[in-house]
Amino acid sequence: MHIDIAGKSIGHKPVLGRISLTLARGEVVALTGPSGIGKTTLARIIAGLEPCADSSIADAGRIGMVFQEPTLLPWRSIIDNICIATGCDAGAAREALENVELGDRADAFPTQLSLGQQRRIALARALAARPDTLILDEAFASLDEATAMRMRALTRRILEGAGFRTLLVTHNLNDAVELADRVLLLDGRPAEILVEHRLSAPRKTTGHRAELEAIRAKQQAASKS
Amino acid sequence: MASFIHQTTDGRTHDRSRLAKGLLSLLGFVALWGAASLWLADPDLLPSPVAVARVFWSETASGEMSLHMLATLARVIAAFVLAMSIGSVLGIVAGRKPGVDAWVSPWLIIFLNLPALVVIVLCYLWIGLTEVAAITAVAINKIPMIAVMMREGARALDPALGDMAQAFRIPRAARWRHVIVPQLAPHFAASGRAGFALIWKIVLVVEFLGRSNGVGFQIHLYFQLFDVARILAYAFGFIAIMLAVEYLVVQPWERSVTRWRRHAH
């Protein structure tokens, strides 16, 4: 998938500058940067939710998205939520639920689940869509640390060896280093990709500190220039 | 699970207590009416509840009551379906498209403030003393209110769920059925309930002014004969029908579409 954006303004305010990036099949790319910099705007443009006149998105294929909020239909059961959104059958929906360790909650309603469980359902829904491109927009935000850790571990297991490409949008550099193959740091006004860093050993539980230091060094160098 | 059963039991107890209070309140109304009737001591001006009940049964036994009730009910249903259909479409489109709303809004304000009597008289003058004129007049009176209520519902649609539907490319029909209509359901129920309550009152005025059957026509007839007992018998008979519609149709439907709320923690 190749994304080329000449710029994006909201109202009269330029939010994004020129952005060009390519995601290979099976690759996990983390898009990180300070809150409010334009990460979600970029993710929404890729998902087709935000119009952008000067942009081209090639070979995105079918998109599965996990939003900042779970955005489940509270009046439908969990299994219906998955089937309605993705058009899959009940068997595939149950399989997706098993994948996020919530196979026993298929007939519950979203309001009966905790926020962490709702987030996992949102992930299951995105996976049930059999996406070519998976977009995870701040999927671990507003979770307590224990739940966020569990969600990260689950996401790591799902992303490892997945056949689809993943864009992980997060303001948390630790999450980016823990889960991605490649980290893109968005910064500036309007925002552009300031740093690109390929991890030497993706999704390993060790060596994060060295990767974080390398990214910060690149960020400082880029800021000076 | 235990807490869910506990909540359900609590809910039933609450429903029973509410029903008991409602019945007691109704009995209080009848008692107050009886006391006022005794105090006035003029059955022509305010007959007792028992006298009105007797008249009600005699009108029912003669078949007059059902004949006029059905005529009125048919008009109410026809006007209700027409007003709900046009008002809902107009309101939802205006709520979702600000451009359309800019055009529709001034018209809604004009029609909201047009007295019902003026619309009824004009419809009879322009269309004639026909069934079409009667139903059109009632529908015109109701459409703006339904449109305004549905417009508020359409404006309050959750944009995040709209984004979800768009991102997952949910087909249009499924999007309406599973995403949009459930969000509009409380607004449909509110405008339907308010619409029904007001429509039957306007239908009575329409019948009063220009029809030859129906509860409104009977009230006109007994008004000329100064027969308060029959006026009250027809009025309360129709209120009973409207209450039956509320408890047997509107509330069960509302309960079924808001079933998911009762599953919350």
Tell me the average pLDDT across B110-128. 92
Q: What's the pLDDT tens digit per position in A37-96?
A: 999 999 999 999 988 888 888 887 889 999 999 999 999 999 999 999 999 999 999 999
Distance CA A73, CA B157 (A): 12
> What pLDDT score was predicted for residue B67?
93
Instruction: Quote the DSSP letter at residue A103.
Output: G
> What pLDDT score was predicted for residue A152?
86
**Hey, are the CB atoms on A63 and B182 less than 8 Å from each other?**
no
Distance CA B209, CA A14 (A): 64
Backbone region of residue B126 per phi and psi (left: phi > 0; alpha: psi in -120 to 50; beta: other values): alpha
- The tokens 């569990």 sit on which residue? A150
Residues B86 and B176 in one domain: yes
**Hey, are the CB atoms on A69 and B160 less than 8 Å from each other?**
yes
Residues B87 and B112 in one domain: yes
Tell me the average pLDDT across B127-131. 90
Residues B57 and B152 in one domain: yes
Distance CA A48, CA A57 (A): 9
Distance from CA of A160 to the nearest CA of B (A): 23
Residues B183 and B241 in one domain: yes
Residue A10's SS3 state is strand
Q: What's the pLDDT tens digit per position in A130-177?
A: 999 999 998 888 788 888 888 888 888 888 878 899 999 999 888 888
ipTM field:
0.88
Please tell me the least confidently modeled range out of B163-172, B193-202, B251-260: B251-260
B3: confidence class by pLDDT, cuts 50, 70, 90: very low
Backbone region of residue A63 per phi and psi (left: phi > 0; alpha: psi in -120 to 50; beta: other values): beta
**Hey, are the CB atoms on A75 and B182 less than 8 Å from each other?**
yes
**Hey, are the CB atoms on A67 and B178 less than 8 Å from each other?**
no
Which whole-number Å values give the CA distances from B77 to A15, B48, B192, B195, in the listed order? 54, 32, 11, 11
Share the mean pLDDT of chain B: 88
- For residue B166, the chain A residues in CB contact (below 8 A) are 48-49
For residues B110 and B148, the answer to whether their CB atoms sit within 8 Å is no
Tell me the average pLDDT across B245-265. 76
Please tell me the least confidently modeled range out of A164-173, A207-216, B101-110, B180-189: A207-216
Distance CA A214, CA A202 (A): 14
Any A CB within 8 A of B13 CB: no
Distance CA A176, CA A29 (A): 8
Please tell me the least confidently modeled range out of A149-163, B154-168, B176-190: A149-163
Q: What's the pLDDT tens digit per position in B89-106?
A: 999 999 999 999 999 999
The CATH number linked to B224 is 1.10.3720.10
- The tokens 């490319």 sit on which residue? B169
Of B161, B168, B265, which has the smallest distance from its Cβ to A111's Cβ? Answer: B265
> What pLDDT score was predicted for residue A6?
87
Tell me the average pLDDT across B28-37. 94
- Chain A positions contacting chain B at CB under 8 Å are 44, 47-49, 63-65, 67, 69, 71, 73-76, 80, 84-87, 108-109, 111-112, 125, 129
Tell me the average pLDDT across A114-119. 91
> What pLDDT score was predicted for residue A223?
79
Residues B32 and B52 in one domain: no
Any A CB within 8 A of B263 CB: yes
Instruction: Quote the DSSP letter at residue B120.
Output: H
B12: confidence class by pLDDT, cuts 50, 70, 90: low
- Is residue A31 over pLDDT 80? yes
Helix segments in A100-207, DSSP class H:
115-128, 145-159, 173-179
Residues B116 and B233 in one domain: yes
Compare all CA atoms of chain B with the CA of A125 and give the residue at the minimum distance: B168
Residues B220 and B257 in one domain: yes
> What pLDDT score was predicted for residue B103?
93
Compare all CA atoms of chain B with the CA of A127 and give the residue at the minimum distance: B168
Q: What's the pLDDT tens digit per position in B203-224?
A: 988 999 888 899 999 999 999 9
> What pLDDT score was predicted for residue A215?
87
Residues B66 and B112 in one domain: yes
Tell me the average pLDDT across A24-30. 92
**Hey, are the CB atoms on A47 and B174 less than 8 Å from each other?**
no
Distance CA A158, CA A100 (A): 9
> What pLDDT score was predicted for residue B11?
59
> What pLDDT score was predicted for residue B5?
45
> What pTM does this model have?
0.79
Report all structural domains of chain A as residue ranges with CATH numbers, in order of start: 2-61+132-224 (3.40.50.300), 73-130 (no CATH)
Residues B111 and B237 in one domain: yes
Q: What's the pLDDT tens digit per position in A169-205?
A: 999 888 888 889 999 999 888 988 888 889 887 877 7
> What pLDDT score was predicted for residue B78?
95
Tell me the average pLDDT across B44-71. 92
> What pLDDT score was predicted for residue B254?
79
Residue A23's SS3 state is coil
Domain encompassing residue B9 = 1-41
**Hey, are the CB atoms on B263 and A64 less than 8 Å from each other?**
no
- For residue B168, the chain A residues in CB contact (below 8 A) are 64-65, 85-86, 125, 129
Structurally, chain B folds into a number of domains equal to 2
Distance CA B5, CA B10 (A): 8
- Is residue B1 over pLDDT 50? no
Tokens representing A165 are 């490409």
> What pLDDT score was predicted for residue B10?
58
- Is residue B6 over pLDDT 80? no
Residue A13's SS3 state is strand
Distance CA A127, CA B102 (A): 42
**Hey, are the CB atoms on B263 and A112 less than 8 Å from each other?**
yes
- The tokens 């224990």 sit on which residue? A146
Residues B21 and B116 in one domain: no
Which whole-number Å values give the CA distances from B85 to B65, B181, B191, B242, in the listed order? 30, 14, 11, 20
Which whole-number Å values give the CA distances from B228 to A34, B40, B231, in the listed order? 76, 14, 5
In the A/B pair of chains, how many CB contacts fall below 8 A? 58
Compare all CA atoms of chain A with the CA of B160 and give the residue at the minimum distance: A71
Residues B32 and B85 in one domain: no
Residues B48 and B37 in one domain: no
